[in-house]
Amino acid sequence: MENIEILRSNLVEKIFSTKNISLLQAIDDILSSVSTKDEQYTFSESQKELLLLAEEDIKYGRTVTDEELRKLDEEWMK
């Protein structure tokens, strides 16, 4: 991922260069909906269980790369 300062600079440049009011309103809506406060999340028991299973999969190498997953998705979509 890009350095946050580079990404921020690129976004500002694109925002200043657009004349599309709908796009600007959509960006404003997105940014307004994101809370800047640190929020504490509460997970349900089933969510906690799924996270533990995922950690176990990672621990034992039961993972696939992004590229492998995309190939599997393509095959499934056929």
Q: Which residue has the tokens 């800047």?
A: 36
pTM: 0.42
How many CA atoms lie less than 13 Å away from 58 in the CB half-sphere? 6
Decide if pLDDT at 49 tops 90. yes
Residue 52 counted as domain residue? yes
Residue 40 counted as domain residue? no
Residue 24 counted as domain residue? yes
Residue 54 counted as domain residue? yes
Looking at residues 8-29, what average pLDDT do you find?
92
Residue 39 counted as domain residue? no
Residue 22 counted as domain residue? yes
* Count of domains observed in the chain: 2
Long-range contacts for 58-66 (Cβ within 8 Å, ≥24 apart)? Answer: none
Q: Which domain holds residue 61?
A: 45-77
Residue 64 counted as domain residue? yes
Q: Which two tokens stand for residue 35?
A: 């809370």
Residues 6 or more apart whose Cβ sits within 8 Å of residue 35 = none
Decide if pLDDT at 35 tops 80. no
